[in-house]
Structure 1
Amino acid sequence: MMKKYLVTFALSAMVLAACGKKEEPPAPAAAPVAVASAPAPEPEEEKVVNIYNWADYIPEGMAAAFEAETGIKVNYDTFETNEALHAKLVAGNSGYDIVVPGSVFAKPQLEGGLLQPLNKDKIPNLANLDPAIMATLSKADPDNKFLVPWAWGFTTVGINKTKVTKALGNMPMPENAWDLVFKPEYTAKLKSCGIAYLDSPTEIIPVALHYIGKDAYSNNPEDYKAATEMLAKVRKDVRLFSATMIDDIAGGKACVAIGWSGDINIAAVRAKENGSKDEIESLLPSTGALIFFDTIAITKDAKHPNNAFKFIDFYLRAENAARMANEMNYPTANKAALDKIKPEIAGNKTIFVESDYFSKMIPPSSFTNEAREAMATAYNGFKKGK
């Protein structure tokens, strides 16, 4: 009976409590918790990377070492001039993932949408690069978004000292090495052993402009006219317009040349390997040489960009950058590699130039498309002797 009473009391209390309580709206349903979705997996790329680079510009076995480590096949083609590479990119569907344009061409290429930004998270070895050189390169590539240095060097005069001394006879070497290729008094004597110019308007016209006191990277067609008027005076003495400068110097086709510093030093090594006792050297003109950067870039329509990032990161390892400098005779922008470079390379002042001469060098710039066309017209007229 007591148990029944207690149950009844409890039920009455519950009813009274319910009657005295203010009615409240039902609580809103809890908002669904947002769950971060996992990023979509990147599509699997074919184990291939297609590279388009300058001739004689990669250490022997480096591509094979990358293939062995990653299982990614390297298809490696070469070109001889910036103009050839530029035409391929402008035409579109080049088929290449990595290209190596000179910075003079790279700036308009990236501005024209022909190249794609780098995914720096996939290239940790970018940290090995010299900040000072990257700051210089930023003039062509603001914030270093698109370009990585492959190597750098300068356009200058190279000579076979043995043959030049003989051809000049009693005439002393000029203070300014540019006189050897631009001053008729010297070219008239040196034509007997061969004068060679790089076969490229964007290499020859800028150094000619510099020689006559103009802006080497002028976009003014009137300046090109002045440069070609100077060049016309020595046209009859020029033997070669060369796309194979290393072989032409090493093989004795030219005793003096306008060429790239590294190529001239490679020619010196190659000549010795071929048994020549002639002394070939790259010179440092008193008024300065034209510095250049050859840069690694990824094409806008690259089909294997992730493989390209892997190759770039591999190339930027300190030991690989040191191999490039040691074997190719071009300076590297890789600061982490410097202590691995052979003393005879690191101490060669035509490879790693001293700071006082570096300050004389003309930094790279670029040309408008209109200026480049006008320059090509002026150069071709000079080359044909018109």
Structure 2
Amino acid sequence: MAMLSAAGGSLNVYNWSDYIAEDTIANFEAETGIKVTYDMYDSNEVLEAKMLAGSSGYDLVVPTADFLARGREAGAYQDMDLSRIPNASNQDSEIQAQADRMVGSNSAGLVYMWGSTGIAYNEDMVAERLGDDAPTDSWSLILDPANAAKLEDCGIAILDAPTDVLPNVMTYLDTLGHRWRNPILKLLVMHFLLSGLI
């Protein structure tokens, strides 16, 4: 979700890497005459640390909805005046409504991108190690210790983002019937269920 405060003759943007085309800033500057300073971060945690420290100097930042909600509660973000953003009416209303529920406001931000977390794998290497009936439609492909051991020489990598990984791990554990056995897991599940993240 994107957040804009005030610009003047310049705009300071803090965004994920690879989120805009190479010519976007040059095109924007040519069209508006506004000078853009564009900085990038590689995780929500880096963004959150900078924003919560205060006086970041950024006019526009692009956190994920869950981190926008936390930062908004901490006073790091201002709500937007949507009357000054005529194209806000072009947002997909269902996706925007879901994001608004997560953030707790309908003027905290606008959806910029929407996605999901999935599994990518080399079909031949997985079939060679786990057979043709490998559970490629399940997180057990990498979370089941027996499968992970057989795939170890291939390498297994996951996102360094707890808010993306933890709901998937919890979903996998729930399919095994472990949801309520561990009190810490129970607290995590309740937190995510109440947050609207899963």
Task: Compute the TM-score of the two structures, normalised by the length of structure 1.
Answer: 0.43
State the 1:93 CA deviation. Answer: 1.4
Partner of 1:96: 58
State the 1:176 CA deviation. Answer: 3.6
CA RMSD in angstroms, aligned pairs only: 2.9
Partner of 1:66: 28
AA matched with 1:134:
Q
**How many residues matched?**
184
**In structure 2, how many angstroms separate the alpha carbons of the residues matched to 1:138 and 1:72?**
29
Partner of 1:86: 48
Structure with more strand by fraction? 1
**In structure 1, how many angstroms separate the alpha carbons of the residues matched to 2:194 and 2:37?**
32
Aligned residue among 131, 153, 156 for 2:93: 131
AA matched with 2:98:
T
Indicate if the aligned counterparts of 1:50 and 1:76 stay in contact, CA closer than 8 A.
yes
Which ranges in structure 1 are unaligned for 5 or more consecutive residues? 1-43, 215-219, 228-289, 291-361, 367-386
Gap change, CA 1:221 and 1:110, over 3 Å in 2: farther
Q: For residues 8-61 of structure 1, give each alpha carbon's deviation from its aligned partner in whole angstroms, at most 9, with x where no partner exists.
A: xxxxxxxxxxxxxxxxxxxxxxxxxxxxxxxxxxxx965211111111111221
AA matched with 1:73:
K
Q: Which has the higher contact order (CA 8 A, sep 6+)?
A: 1
**Which SS does the other structure have where 1:211 is aligned?**
helix
**In structure 1, how many angstroms separate the alpha carbons of the residues matched to 2:120 and 2:152?**
14
Gap change, CA 1:199 and 1:83, over 3 Å in 2: same
**In structure 2, how many angstroms separate the alpha carbons of the residues matched to 1:224 and 1:61?**
47
AA matched with 1:101:
P
State the 1:363 CA deviation. Answer: 10
Gap change, CA 1:62 and 1:163, over 3 Å in 2: farther
Partner of 1:365: 196
Q: For residues 115-141 of structure 1, give each alpha carbon's deviation from its aligned partner in whole angstroms, at most 9, with x where no partner exists.
A: 111111210001111111111112123
State the 1:143 CA deviation. Answer: 4.6
**Which SS does the other structure have where 1:196 is aligned?**
coil
**In structure 1, how many angstroms separate the alpha carbons of the residues matched to 2:66 and 2:52?**
15
Indicate if the aligned counterparts of 1:167 and 1:192 stay in contact, CA closer than 8 A.
no
**Which SS does the other structure have where 1:74 is aligned?**
strand
**In structure 1, how many angstroms separate the alpha carbons of the residues matched to 2:122 and 2:35?**
40
State the 1:160 CA deviation. Answer: 2.9
**In structure 1, how many angstroms separate the alpha carbons of the residues matched to 2:70 and 2:188?**
25
Aligned residue among 185, 193, 196 for 1:223: 185
State the 1:164 CA deviation. Answer: 2.8
State the 1:165 CA deviation. Answer: 3.2
Partner of 2:153: 192
State the 1:175 CA deviation. Answer: 5.7
Partner of 1:50: 12
Which ranges in structure 2 are unaligned for 5 or more consecutive residues? 1-5, 176-181
State the 1:173 CA deviation. Answer: 2.2
Partner of 2:39: 77
Indicate if the aligned counterparts of 2:12 and 2:58 stay in contact, CA closer than 8 A.
yes
Q: For residues 303-333 of structure 1, give each alpha carbon's deviation from its aligned partner in whole angstroms, at most 9, with x where no partner exists.
A: xxxxxxxxxxxxxxxxxxxxxxxxxxxxxxx
Indicate if the aligned counterparts of 1:106 and 1:140 stay in contact, CA closer than 8 A.
no
**In structure 1, how many angstroms separate the alpha carbons of the residues matched to 2:107 and 2:49?**
23
Aligned residue among 158, 172, 185 for 2:133: 172
AA matched with 1:123:
I
**In structure 2, how many angstroms separate the alpha carbons of the residues matched to 1:142 and 1:135?**
10
Partner of 1:209: 170
Q: For residues 236-264 of structure 1, give each alpha carbon's deviation from its aligned partner in whole angstroms, at most 9, with x where no partner exists.
A: xxxxxxxxxxxxxxxxxxxxxxxxxxxxx
Indicate if the aligned counterparts of 1:205 and 1:224 stay in contact, CA closer than 8 A.
no
State the 1:154 CA deviation. Answer: 0.8
Gap change, CA 1:135 and 1:363, over 3 Å in 2: farther
**In structure 2, how many angstroms separate the alpha carbons of the residues matched to 1:82 and 1:110?**
14
Partner of 2:179: none
Gap change, CA 1:363 and 1:58, over 3 Å in 2: farther
